[in-house]
Structure 1
Amino acid sequence: MENQVTNNEHALRLFFTEDVFLVEDKSIQMAPGNIEKPVFADEPVFVKEHLESPLAQEIPKIEADILSKEVKEYPKPADIPLIVEEPVAPKVFKYLGGNKKSVLILVHDKTNDVSTEQGRELLRKIVKAVDLGTPDFALLNYANYLGTDFIELHQFFKPQIMLSFGVETQTLKLNLIWQNEIILHETTKMIFAPNLHDLDGDISAKKLLWGNLQKLK
């Protein structure tokens, strides 16, 4: 017997000539298939809103404030005048003699150019005792230059020997003490004695002076 199963549409119409209606049968339960279900995360997911940093909000404001202010102009370094200290000119002294042997003789007399007659005579004996002539020394009356210190005198005269009559170490701003002996200060040999007029009448002081003068030879 031939197979009666057919899928031909026209052949089926020959057998099924009546209308066919589909009726739902609730008594039949369909086997569950692959039904798609919504997928949920195991843990709740929170979506954080993007909050703008307060600092980021302030930056445009600050920049706007800066731009709104007037820009100050500062002078260039070349426009600033340089303050240059003027060099202090060394003192110029009026003195007697030639200073060829760099010997400075200081006297202190407010009345006379050098001293009294007695004082001048004593000075002539002193310079002769150390073999000095007028061209060899510089004779300065300190009374005309009060306040002058040794540094200023040294800058001008460059003395190798200094004989001081009536001008003390403190007056010349020297941190030295005269103890009746020759003082060697830097490159200068120093002898201190009383004022020439007073020295002429002081035998003890004259003996001390002669002893120191002999050491200069």
Structure 2
Amino acid sequence: MENQVTNNANALRLFFTEDVFLVADKSVKIQPEVQMEPVLEVAANLGSPEVPAIQNTENEQISEKKIPNLVKEYPENAEKAPVAEEPVAEKVFKFLGGNKKSVLILVNDKNNDVSTEQGRELLRKIVKAVELATPDFALLNYASYAGTNFIELHQFFKPQLLLAFGVNTADLNLDLIWQHEIIVHETTRMIFAPELHQLDGDLNAKKSLWGNLKKL
């Protein structure tokens, strides 16, 4: 007897002439042939390929070595070394003369190198009266160095005699009062007088100056 089983679609239509309805049976669970994987894992697998981590052998070698302790410990009662003070730069002055006899002459004229013609002539007479020549003294116009004190002048010139014309004790930061008499401060004898041009026309001031010059 021939096999009655057939899979031919045309032959099957001859036997099944009625409508056939497919009803889903929810009680029956059919396992999928292919096991589904989580979407997140698939997405992660589709990312850029993992780059193998480069092992830093240099850092490992450093970590393996014992790093010495660079912090130096001091005892609590250790004495601190005194900090040396920076030396103060010595002020430099531009002056006339040679200062061989340590005589400093201060003038104070903003308009002239020394003074007017009358003032310069008076100064020549003063210098001659005390028997000084140009190489013996240092002549400085204080107007070019306003604010300079006696310590700075003494540090540079080391004067044994100071003749100040138009410069007073306050200008030199000296706590002294001029009373028309020679002032001896430390190793320096000092005489103060008006500015040379003014002094030339002040008879009383000139007499006071001549009287002090005779005591030298």
- TM-score band, normalised by the shorter chain? 0.5 to 0.7
CA distance in 1, matches of 2:185, 2:154: 11
Q: Distance in 1 between matches of 2:83 and 2:214?
A: 53
Equivalent position amino acid for 1:162 in 2: L
Amino acid across the alignment from 1:148: T
Structure 2: how far apart are the matches of 1:131 and 1:91? 29
Q: Secondary structure at the match of 1:173?
A: coil
Aligned match of 1:174: 174
SS of residue in 1 equivalent to 2:198: helix
TM-score (norm 1): 0.62
Please state whether the residue corresponding to 1:163 is helix, strand or coil: strand
Letter in 2 for 1:197: H
Superposed displacement of residue 87, structure 1:
1.2
Shift of 1:178: 0.4
Name the CA distance, whole Å, in 2 between partners of 1:76 and 1:206.
Answer: 72
1:85 Cα offset (Å): 3.5
Alignment size in residue pairs: 143
Change (3 A) 1:128 1:83: same
**In the superposition, relative to structure 1, how do residues 84 and 187 fare at CA in structure 2: closer, same or farther (>3 Å)?**
closer
Q: CA deviation at 1:89?
A: 1.2
The within-5 A match list for 1:39-118 is 74=71, 84-118=84-118
Distance 1:173 1:84 in 2: 27
1:58 is matched with none
Q: Counterparts of 2:167 and 2:135 in 1: how far apart (Å)?
A: 23
Percent identical among aligned pairs is 75
Match of 2:44?
none
Q: 1:180 & 1:131 partners in 2: Cα distance? A: 22
SS at match of 1:106: strand
Alignment partners' CA distance in 2, 1:201 and 1:154: 31
1:71-121 Cα offsets, whole Å, 9 max, x none, are: x985557xxxx9654211111111000001000000001111100111000
State the match for 1:164 in structure 2. Answer: 164
Aligned 1:1-217 pairs, distance under 5 A: 74=71, 84-216=84-216
TM-score, scaled relative to structure 2: 0.62
Q: Which amino acid aligns with 1:95?
A: F
Which secondary structure does the structure 2 equivalent of 1:147 belong to? coil
Alpha-carbon distance in structure 2 between the residues aligned to 1:93 and 1:162: 16
For 1:169 and 1:197, locate their aligned partners in 2 and report how far apart those are by CA, in whole Å: 20
Runs of 4+ in 1 over 6 A off after TM superposition: none
Gaps of 5+ in 2: 1-68, 75-81
SS in 2 for 1:113: coil
Deviation at 1:180, TM superposition (A): 0.4
What's the secondary structure of 1:205's corresponding residue? helix
SS of the residue corresponding to residue 101 of structure 2 reads coil
> Using the alignment, how far apart are the partners of 2:72 and 2:124 within structure 1?
67
Cα deviation, 1:167-187, whole Å, max 9, x if unaligned, reads: 000110111000000011111
* Unmatched runs of 5 consecutive residues or more in structure 1: 1-71
